[in-house]
Amino acid sequence: MRAVAAGGEASASRQLAAFAARLRYEDIPAAVLDRARACIIDTLACCVHGASLPWSAATAAYARRYGGAGPCTLFGVPAPGTSQAGGPAPATQAAAVANPGGPANAMAMACTGAPAAALANGAAAHAFEQDSLRFPGAGVHPGATLVPALVAACQETGANGRQALTAFVAACEVLFRIGAATHHSSEKLGFHAPGLTGPYGAAIAAGLIHGLDADRLTQALGIAGSLSAGLLAFTKAGNGAMVKRLHLGRAAEAGVVAAALASEGYEGPDTILEGRYGFLETYCSDGEPALLTHGLGDAWETLKICFKRYPCHVTAQAPIQALRGLMAQHGFGGADIDAMALGCSEKIVSHHGIRTPADIMAAQYSVPFCVALAQFRDPEDPAAFDAQAVRDPAIRQACERITLNVQTGLPSAWSASLTLRLRDGRTLETLADGFLGLPSQPLSAEDQRRRFLLRTSGSRNGNAAAGDWYERLADLDNQPVFPVL
């Protein structure tokens, strides 16, 4: 039965599903396609690098054990009997991390079924805090939640590049509007927002590739609402930060499951988003239902995708860039800093003020720790965020010397004011407002390619296999099937 909202309009889910079902590649502006393509490329690089890390071993092993044989690639995970360099498989995942040859040396990658691949790839994409977001923040991660579900569906069906780009844009338009409607209030209640919003977008991405019409996409959204999950307990427990990565993988997997069930006739509530006991009412303290469909078909939310310059939480990006700028301009290092104060949003103080992280995963979620690390190491290099950094006395002491103060009137929730007192008596102040990767400060094509090669081959110059994969992804519109290594 067609659900109708109080004002006589179709439910938000039906309006979003109808938009997604009728979107055509030819209707999408070139700038939107460029942003979508860049996000897909960025996410796959995150998957490959993330899969090489020890805490991704469990999700990859789970996918191989229970996913069965299937056509869907586990990016960065060697096929049985091979390694990153094509030789014998390393004895442990830790050995794979130590392999400086990098993940993408023309190796054969493991494959499995779509749900398991989406879970493992989603967790890997978020494994090192490098995946994309929306600006302004809305509790959505388009890359880690949409791309794993999208690619799995493409590999199941043989969909081409234009179909993939169209489905991604449609899913991103839906996902970002759902996120915006929450006013990012879910995390104030203790939920990890991307685990809640992600299943909806992933269901649209997978559903479109599988040919679901507007009615079935509506059901997929209704099903996805009962597959949301993710709690922020790890931020206060002092351990267990691995689950943060799982939230993104589960969101991607949930989208695949929701779309598959909808294709079989399974149903979910049409008013899952704005209705009684629906998403906004249950998971949000400050939802605005009107934003679910605001500007749909006219304003392109996909243009709001932003990329991280540094492999850490987005709230640390602007402070780090501002700090490194001061260090370059005034010629001082970490040992020259006596004290630092950050004027920042309340959320940074309440959620991201971890002083003694137990591991690098928790450290990447801590703004003071990441800013302290940037005083002594190159924060653009993922290798700088290692286990040794967590134990580094200089970084830990610097972390303790950083004061966090709630400041109102900042340009955005990701902005901060920095005040540094140097040991020579100088005081420096600046406003950290933005970073490379924001829509207003885009990464250059050269930067995007360099980042891709660094994360997929372990080298800024890449190798033949990684370079070829990048070129095919950059030409995704003309690929007959979704390109993989």
What's the confidence (pLDDT) of residue 108?
A: 86
> CB-based burial of residue 280 (10 Å sphere; 0-12 exposed, 13-18 middle, 19+ buried)?
buried
Task: Output DSSP code: residue 337.
Answer: E
User: Cα dihedral sign for 132, 123, 285, 206?
Assistant: positive
Angle at 273 between CA 272 and CA 279, to 5 degrees: 90
pLDDT at 454: 87
Report the number of secondary-structure helices (H) and strands (E) in the chain. 20, 8
Give the C-alpha separation, 384 to 91, whole Å.
25
Q: What is the DSSP string of 370-383?
A: HHHHHHHS-TTSGG
Give the Cα-Cα-Cα angle 215, 220, 231 (nearest 5 degrees).
Answer: 150
For 27, half-sphere exposure in the C-beta direction (CA atoms, 13 angstrom radius) is 15
DSSP H or E run through 131: none
Which stretches does DSSP call E strand in 56-172?
72-78, 109-112, 133-134
140: CB partners within 8 A, 6+ apart: 133, 134, 175, 176, 178, 179, 193, 194, 197, 198, 201
State whether residue 53 is helix, strand or coil. Answer: coil
In whole angstroms, give the CA distance from residue 63 to residue 143.
20
Query: Closest Cα to residue 341, out of 410, 406, 396?
Result: 406
| CA 313 from centroid of its chain's CA atoms | 10
Phi, psi (5° rounding) for residue 432? -90, 100
- Whether the CA torsion 179, 182, 185, 187 is positive or negative: it is negative
Judged by DSSP in three states, 13 sits in helix
CA distance linking residue 129 with residue 308, whole number of Å: 8
Q: Do the beta carbons of residue 95 and residue 83 sit within 8 Å? A: no
Residue with tokens 């991660």: 141
What's the rounded Cα separation, in Å, for the pair 412 and 137? 9
Distance between CA atoms of 195 and 484, rounded to whole angstroms?
Answer: 26
φ/ψ (deg, to 5) at 253: -60, -40
pLDDT tens for the chain, 485 residues long, are 345 555 568 999 999 999 999 999 999 999 999 999 999 999 999 999 999 998 999 999 999 999 999 999 999 999 987 655 443 333 333 333 333 334 444 568 999 999 999 999 999 999 999 999 999 999 999 999 999 999 999 999 999 999 999 999 999 999 999 999 999 999 999 999 999 999 999 999 999 999 999 999 999 999 999 999 999 999 999 899 999 999 999 999 999 999 999 999 999 999 999 999 999 999 999 999 999 999 999 999 999 999 999 999 999 999 999 999 999 999 999 999 999 999 999 999 999 999 999 999 999 999 999 999 999 999 998 889 999 999 999 999 999 999 999 999 999 999 999 999 999 999 999 999 999 999 999 999 999 999 999 899 866 667 899 999 999 999 999 999 999 98
pTM of the model: 0.91
CA 13/CA 72 separation, integer angstroms = 29
Here the tokens at position 319 are 């402070």
Strand order in the sheet with 402-406: 402-406, 337-344, 416-422, 427-432
**DSSP-assigned states of every residue in 433-485:** ---BTBTTSPPPHHHHHHHHHHHHHSSSS--HHHHHHHHHHHTGGG-SS----
